[in-house]
Amino acid sequence: MTRLTAFLAWSTQAGSPDAVQKALSVMKAKLAEHGFDYYDWNENQSVNKDIGAKVSDELLKSDLVILEGSKQRPNLAYEAGFTHALHLPLVVVKQAGSERLPENFGEPDYLAYPSDAGDEEGFAAFEARFTDWLGKLALTTLSPGQRSARHGRNALNEQINKFIDGYAEEHASLHLLGGWAGALALELDSGGASQLVVDADYYLPSFSSLRAWDGGQIRAIADLTDETEQFWTPDHPEEMTANVSERIFLIDWSWFFENEDKLARHIDLWRRHQARHRTGPYEIFIAAREELRPGEVHPMGPGAVGHHLLLLDPDLIGGYRPNPGRIDGRQLVIERNTLRYASATQFYDSIKSRAVRFEPSMKVVDLRRAWLARTGVGHWDEDWTSETEFRSPDYFDLYERHIRCWIPRYAQLIRDCAATVFREILRIYADSMRSVDVLELGYGTGRLTSEIVPWIRNINRPFYELEHHGPVRQYRGVDRAEQMVEYTREMLRPEQQPGLDMRLVRGTAWEDIDGRYDVVFGSLVMHFLIGPDPTDETLDEFFANSAEHTTEDGTLIFADVFGVNGDRRGASAMEKWREWMIRYGLAEEEVDGYMAGNTDMTSAAPVSLLRKAAEAHGFRTRVKVVGAPTLPFRIVVFQKERSVP
């Protein structure tokens, strides 16, 4: 903010000109000591032709007005009236014994100085009173916040006045301006002095002005999963972080896994924030945006947009809510409320409890490792038994995050598996020219299902609109865990898929499966169905069931972990898998716990044994590597070969 400015005007006809000059010299010296520039009207009036306009201009730029009132000169009433209109602090200095101004001058502050320039004791007392008055103003009317608000108001008034002055006659523009100004006034009036409600676009200049405020701690939550605060970019304005004590950034949890490049860019941004924008400590915390837990209530109420929050000591909170006047618009709401501030503090602390402190030396893997340790994501609970349906809720609630810590390139594995299913559906449909039926084993959270169903819906749509069966007629899914069934049904709404007979049921393979299917598939389920170190009899039974439930040209597709029995490469692949989990962010003891709790994966059947058992039941085998060939993850396709008559 610019330096303080004082406007001074006095009478040259006062009873003792020497006393006036001495009083002026005292005031100018003290103004300089307190950081003021000053405009002495009497020193400049001779060069001003339009006196009224010049006085107005100078008063608009001033923070403080000092008028000498010993003689009621003609301009005094104009200067005092304009000062009152601008709500500027005003002091009238006058020689001792002179009359006070009439009451309609607004009863300004008075400071008397001696009429005798040689009265050292009197002028010392005047200097002390003037100094004390300046000190009080610095804490109240001339505080940085008061000045900022006053300058903003004056700038707005000035621009409105200039606009009005540009139209000497009736014009539609004047009505438009009046409507806008009235709407702005209503927004400001909606909460009185305790609440500020403006369009969210004004957040940046509003927050930037806080650089001049040092009255307490500023904390904030920036919800990067919501696009309201679009200024979190590499060219982020520096002043936005100038005096924040700490800030929590909420990100989508996928940034730790599939969006590492995006996370890396923000890490660089956060590092630059801490390096450039604070002379004192500026702490950054990172957390994943979560659904609010019981007891966590955003202080702006259920209508709050995102989890954005601003906390300014001792009693100010801020956030966003929808703007009823704009589609997808946002309003910034700043409220002074002691009770809500206490609630907001609790909300902030609750979010912070699951956040990790950002350090400038961190890279993506360091931040992910800290987040995993803080939240327990990726931790294998030894109470999670092999029977999935009996595992505790935190296994299911965080499954999509857990699995990315355990399975290398999980998203790629799912995408590649879905693409393989697509190709087999199209192959069978093209060869047989009939609708295809598909079966998914162990659909779990629906991650693979959600890739495949939209694709089926799209290829079926033209046929559905013509009231014909599309390339895919039935989609059946089976999973043994009730929690998974409820979750995936809620997400995909199988009964609402147009043009597709889709059912997701609870059950086990193969006891609860009826009929025959053209494509049977699953991700991370085959090792569970077969078990660790399967015998030849177990494998034979699996493929016998598979043959029974697939059509004569049907296909099995499994994305999973596969071992190599009796081969050094098998042990090496498992070790590489273990190394990957540690490198990806899990602690060694966490990895050991996972490996010990999943022997059906660490002792999974090798492709060579599966191929042999599959061929005995009429399947030929194709293998696709997922991720790196040194890791034990593959997509294996078992395709039935038509018997030649």
Bigger pLDDT: 588 vs 182: 588
Whether pLDDT at 567 is above 60 = no
* H or E, element range at 232: none
Average pLDDT over residues 515-544: 95
Q: What is the pTM of this model?
A: 0.80
Q: Both 260 and 117 in a single domain? A: no
Beta bridge mates, 111: 93
Q: Both 17 and 107 in a single domain? A: yes
Q: Is residue 446 part of a domain?
A: yes
Band (131; pLDDT cuts 50, 70, 90): very high
Residue 566 has what pLDDT? 47
Band (49; pLDDT cuts 50, 70, 90): low
Q: Both 225 and 370 in a single domain? A: yes
* H or E, element range at 190: none
Band (191; pLDDT cuts 50, 70, 90): low
Band (477; pLDDT cuts 50, 70, 90): very high
Band (357; pLDDT cuts 50, 70, 90): very high
16-30, 48-62, 93-107, 544-558 — most confident range: 544-558
Determine which of 85-94, 349-358, 569-578 has the lowest per-residue pLDDT on average: 569-578
Averaged pLDDT score across all residues of the chain:
88
Band (643; pLDDT cuts 50, 70, 90): low
324-340 CB burial, b ≥16 within 10 A, e <16: eeeeeebbbbbbbbeeb
Whether pLDDT at 250 is above 70 = yes
Residue 1 has what pLDDT? 55
Q: Both 84 and 183 in a single domain? A: no
How many CB atoms sit inside 10 A of residue 186's CB?
10
Q: Both 137 and 20 in a single domain? A: yes
Q: Both 314 and 224 in a single domain? A: yes
Bigger pLDDT: 312 vs 243: 312
Residue 119 has what pLDDT? 92
Q: Both 173 and 266 in a single domain? A: no
- Residue 359's Cβ-count burial label (10 Å; 0-12, 13-18, 19+) is middle
Report the CATH number at residue 489.
Answer: 3.40.50.150
Tokens standing for residue 644: 């030649």
53-67, 188-202, 362-376, 487-501 — most confident range: 362-376
- Residue 84's Cβ-count burial label (10 Å; 0-12, 13-18, 19+) is middle
Tokens standing for residue 525: 């389920």
Residue 455 has what pLDDT? 95
- Sign of dihedral through CA atoms 540, 545, 551, 554? negative
Q: Both 434 and 336 in a single domain? A: no
Q: Both 419 and 531 in a single domain? A: yes
Number of domains in the chain: 4
Q: How far apart are CA 110 and CA 639, in angstroms?
A: 100
Band (546; pLDDT cuts 50, 70, 90): very high
Closest CA to 392 of 492, 483, 259: 483
Q: Both 166 and 101 in a single domain? A: no
545's CB contacts (< 8 A; 6+ apart) are 509, 510
Residue 598 has what pLDDT? 93
Average pLDDT over residues 580-596: 95
Q: Is residue 308 part of a domain?
A: yes
Report the CATH number at residue 120.
Answer: 3.40.50.450
Q: Is residue 388 part of a domain?
A: no
**How do beta strands 309-312 and 246-251 pair?**
unpaired
Q: Is residue 465 part of a domain?
A: yes
DSSP per residue, 247-279: EEEEE-GGGGTTTHHHHHHHHHHHHHHHHHS-S
Which of 158, 189, 220 is the endpoint of a domain? 189
- Residue 468's Cβ-count burial label (10 Å; 0-12, 13-18, 19+) is exposed
342's CB contacts (< 8 A; 6+ apart) are none
Report the CATH number at residue 341.
Answer: 3.30.870.10
Bigger pLDDT: 549 vs 297: 549
Q: Is residue 579 part of a domain?
A: no
Beta bridge mates, 94: 112
Residue 393 has what pLDDT? 85
Beta bridge mates, 191: none
Contact 38, 6 (CB under 8 A): yes
Q: How far apart are CA 171 and CA 453, in angstroms?
A: 60
Band (415; pLDDT cuts 50, 70, 90): very high
Beta bridge mates, 65: 7, 90
Portion of the chain with pLDDT greater than 90, in percent: 53
Q: Is residue 577 part of a domain?
A: no
Q: What CA–CA distances, in Å, run from 426 to 219, 246, 302, 423?
A: 56, 55, 47, 5
Determine which of 339-353, 396-410, 480-494, 564-578 has the lowest per-residue pLDDT on average: 564-578
Q: Is residue 16 part of a domain?
A: yes
31-35, 184-188, 379-383, 558-562 — most confident range: 558-562
Closest CA to 472 of 514, 509, 507, 425: 425
Q: Is residue 585 part of a domain?
A: no
Portion of the chain with pLDDT greater than 70, in percent: 96
- The helix/strand count (H/E) of the chain reads as 22, 20
Determine which of 24-38, 447-461, 561-575 has the lowest per-residue pLDDT on average: 561-575
Whether pLDDT at 111 is above 50 = yes
- Residue 366's Cβ-count burial label (10 Å; 0-12, 13-18, 19+) is middle
DSSP state, residue 130? H
Tokens standing for residue 219: 């904390």
Residue 553 has what pLDDT? 92
Whether pLDDT at 89 is above 80 = yes
Whether pLDDT at 155 is above 60 = yes
85's CB contacts (< 8 A; 6+ apart) are none
Q: How far apart are CA 251 and CA 355, in angstroms?
A: 11
Structural domain containing residue 418:
404-557+613-640
611-638 CB burial, b ≥16 within 10 A, e <16: bebbeebbbebeeeebbeeebbbbbbbb
Contact 624, 634 (CB under 8 A): yes
Q: Both 501 and 620 in a single domain? A: yes
Residue 460 has what pLDDT? 92
* C-alpha gyration radius of the chain: 38
Whether pLDDT at 230 is above 50 = yes
**How do beta strands 283-288 and 356-357 pair?**
antiparallel
Q: How far apart are CA 527 and CA 522, in angstroms?
A: 11
Residue at token pair 């405009």: 39
Q: Both 362 and 425 in a single domain? A: no
Q: How far apart are CA 260 and CA 366, in angstroms?
A: 12
Determine which of 98-112, 212-226, 578-592, 620-634 has the lowest per-residue pLDDT on average: 98-112
Band (386; pLDDT cuts 50, 70, 90): low
Amino acid sitting at position 357:
R
Q: How far apart are CA 101 and CA 124, in angstroms?
A: 24
Q: How far apart are CA 419 and CA 425, in angstroms?
A: 10
Whether pLDDT at 568 is above 60 = no
Cis peptide before 102 (omega within 30 of 0): no
